[in-house]
Structure 1
Amino acid sequence: MPLTPWNAFVEVCRTGSLRAAAEATGFTQPGLSRQVAALEREVGVRLLDRGPRGVTPTAAGAALLPHARLVVNEARRGRESARTATDRPATLVLGAVPSATASVVPRAIGRLREAGGPEVTVVSRLTPELSPMVLSRELDAAVVTDAPPGLPRDEGLRATHLYDDEVVVIAEPGHRLARGRRIDLKRLAGETWIEDNVGSEVMLRQLAARAGFEPQVSSTADDLLAKTGMVAAGLGVAIVPAMLLPALRSDLAVLRVRQPVLRGIYLLARTDRSDLAPVVDALSAA
């Protein structure tokens, strides 16, 4: 069976959109649909549901998806192995949560490069998305956190603790509490809180409950960049990890909280990988 239909199916499942998958693979949308249809004919069942809100795998498609990822990724690794055999530099595919890709990961890549280590390709996703990508060999490893919903529990994965990261509050520069000293979170009880993902909102609600108030949450941001932009525009305040601070835009104030919550930062890899000690060392040093 040709590899192209498998790759088309994986991309549609990843993006949730035939149009976005077509752009990612270089096909026209009808051409991509024909590739997926070819795979459905070969397998003998319908693999995708096409609805007004996007494309989702059927039960059969969800069952096939991890195997399809394995097929696509092993083919990619085969090509890389062949290229490495001709003395091209090896490539490490590293996933990371968005806050890590803005700070810790680039510094670690610099250390690896100075030490003559592998070239690194970075993929930015949230922790729940990264763990299946590591399992399916789409990623060699991933920098993840134990923030809600927590670390994945799978016998095929190993999480190596790197360090603990403080959660801070960001606000517009002229905020009444932007005075440089730690604050009680309850003093922000009347604020609008900008959130960009479910895990961060769960953490916010846990922090607020501990401080004795119910936060007013506005889920208007789709990602971390939009979240910081909305805060800078005075639309509310937000929690962010301290690891983001070196890359934070200058028109924001940082409010540190008394009795702050910490989230653990880990390198997630398959248990059969024993060659990642230099990556762990570089990330810990960074």
Structure 2
Amino acid sequence: HLACGALGSGECDLALAGGVTLILGSRTMRSFARMGMLSPTGRCRTFDAAADGFVRGEGCGVVVLKRLADALRDGDRVLAVIRGSAVNQDGRSDGLAAPSAAAQQALFREALERAGTDPQDVGMIETHGTGTPIGDPIEFSSLAQVYGVGRDRCALGSVKTNLGHLEPASGVSGLIKAVLCLQRGLVPPNLHFTEWNPAIAPEGTRFFVPTRLTEWPTGSSPRLAAVSSFGYSGPNAPVVLEPAPVAASSGRPVPRRPAG
């Protein structure tokens, strides 16, 4: 979000944005274990009735960002376009595992407004989806209030079921997954999902959890995806994405059109 702002204001012409996490000591792990936040089964079961906590993981992810016009001019291979993003802070909440639903909903709407996007056109949401019995229902409820009604189905993904919770790198890992889904027009399955958490009410929404490789759910063009991402200290940072222009995805320079 900060990098896009700097590019838009002309502060820079190229930016690197990413996150990394390594588990180099036991202190944080012991703290999470004492708080009962970690899955005793070692499985991230996002939105599932058997969700029993999150699984820590390690990783690094970085994306290169440029203004689209500059990338097209330079013949860069564009992977996706960030349509809009937003950031806010939860303020007071009931704890680390219980974020503010009101703050989440307000920010989803702000990111969509900046993207100039109708929430009904979003076919896939890469959720924060930690697999905690309290956090998952709150996130689902927030998403349902903003994205839940529409003419087509919408897939809820969580790469944490594959990689675990990468903590400072979890947002960029979700972003990278959403970009790959947009490129291919396919949504991979979430692991460890059998039945909905009983605290979640999917009836009346257009949401589903993919349990097999799934074609893109909406017929709208261009395809649109959203990323829902939160942080321990209360920040929320959603992003709305669309695929790269067809010519740009190959890295071939795009001829300039005459003015007028």
TM-score range normalised by the length of the shorter chain = under 0.3
Return the TM-score normalized by structure 2: 0.23
| Structure number with higher helix proportion | 1
Q: Which has the larger radius of gyration?
A: 1
Indicate the structure whose relative CO is greater, using CA pairs within 8 Å and at least 6 residues apart. Answer: 2
Instruction: Report the TM-score when normalising by structure 1.
Output: 0.21
